[in-house]
Structure 1
Amino acid sequence: MNAPDDDYDDDGLNGYDHDLDDEAAPEALVWQLLLMINPGDEESALQQFADYREALAEAGGETDEPVWLLRDAIDWKAGFYVDAEDAASFIDSLNELAARWNLRIDWGSDDPGDEDFLAGTDIPELMALAHDRLREHGYTLWTWNTGTDAHAGWIALRRDDEAMQALSTLLGIEARPGSDAF
């Protein structure tokens, strides 16, 4: 599996090409996003890109909203998508994603899976907490507007915040830092 044809030299932002604009092929934009949410792990980005391309082919080769095809390609590997009432899955998913960089999120509880702890919180509150803990280590938790009761997002390097916002906009994804959950 290869990246889409274009120039993806490393410029310090995981290959993000700041010259990409509204005319850039959606596939090239998706590749840029995958590089950002898999920092330092091009092999995983390539596998997720292959999964995205396969889903795109099954969808007839075009999509107005690539984020939905991406959602399945990255779920529990480089992103999360959980029901608004499933705080336990949110915690498990974020723990799995953070473990890629040997990070552990301090959820403020000795047992974040405890029913009492989960009953006293919600995903936006947990997302803000995880965002703050990840920022301490140079990462940003991002969330995107699903238009449903579900919560979704990914983690990228903090230094890529501006590039992530620009890239999300080009892809038509309403994304913002996890400190301000949808």
Structure 2
Amino acid sequence: MSRFDDDELPPDFDDEAADETAQEYQVWQWLLRINPGDEEQALQQFSAYREAVGDEDPDGLEVILPLTRVIDWQSGFQVEAGDTRTLIQAIDELTARWNLAVDWEGEPDDDEFHAETDVPSLLAIAYDSLAPYGYTLWVWEAEPDTYAGGISLSRDSEAMRELAALLGIELRLASETG
């Protein structure tokens, strides 16, 4: 049926929506990938996404804004460009789902640490820290002057890139933000 693995569809998916060219199907596949091993979380976010977009025409809809909002602090993050503290908190929260911790190469509780770093550098550190465990940290364009992103299994990188292209999401590796 799909080039995106045969993941289970949400209970109320109709046959037309299950077409891999349908935007709603692609959103579901995206949510499955940024919630590895947690289909229940993906389903809750999918329901919230559906509610957020309501009856909007999918052809003219920019999916990244409602997607970023429904995953924030659960399986994604969105932080202001200079907010290194919130970025560290968000990524620490996300990685805790898999009992992982990022080595931030310094003391995140120290004001001097934050004065000497920036969001792109921290994203690269987190990317490098997660890669050996089979996870990829992604970033995408959402709101102006912000960084938004999420984590998928590294084996899903090709599907993430393909889904991003289909959904009109400017996706890149977190290590490529500098």
**TM-score computed with the length of structure 1 as normaliser:** 0.85
Q: Deviations over 1:13-46 (max 9, x none)?
A: xxxx9x93xxx11110000000000011000000
Cα distance in 2, alignment partners of residues 113 and 84 from structure 1: 19
1:106 match: 103
Mapped to 2, the partners of 1:122 and 1:159 lie a distance apart of: 28
Q: Aligned-pair distance for 1:117?
A: 0.2
Matched, 1:152 2:148: yes
Q: Is the 8 A contact 1:4 1:31 kept in 2?
A: no
**Count of residue pairs the alignment pairs up:** 167
Report the RMSD for the aligned CA atoms in angstroms. 2.0
TM-score with structure 2 setting the length: 0.87
Checking the alignment, whether the CA contact within 8 Å between 1:140 and 1:177 is kept in structure 2 is yes
Match of 1:136, SS state, is helix
Secondary structure of the structure 1 residue equivalent to 2:149: strand
Question: What corresponds to 2:30 in structure 1?
Answer: 33
Residues 68-107 of structure 1 show CA distances to partners (whole Å, capped at 9, x for unaligned) of: 0101110000000000011000000000000000101100
Contact 1:132 1:179 in 2 (8 A): yes
Residues 6 and 28, structure 1, Cα contact 8 Å, conserved in 2: no
Q: Where in structure 1 are there 5+ consecutive unaligned residues?
A: 8-16
Map 1:9-158 → 2, pairs under 5 A: 20=20, 24-57=21-54, 60=56, 62=58, 63-109=60-106, 111-146=107-142, 148-158=144-154
Q: SS at the partner of 2:98?
A: coil
Per the TM alignment, residue 3 of structure 1 is displaced from its structure 2 partner at its CA by: 5.8
Alpha carbons of 1:6 and 1:137: their partners in 2 closer, same or farther (altered >3 Å)? farther
Distance 1:122 1:70 in 2: 25
Counterpart residue identity of residue 177, structure 2: A
Task: Select between 81-90 and 146-155 the one with higher mean Cα deviation.
Answer: 146-155
1:161 aligns with 2:170: no
Q: What's the % identity of the aligned pairs?
A: 49
Letter in 1 for 2:45: Q
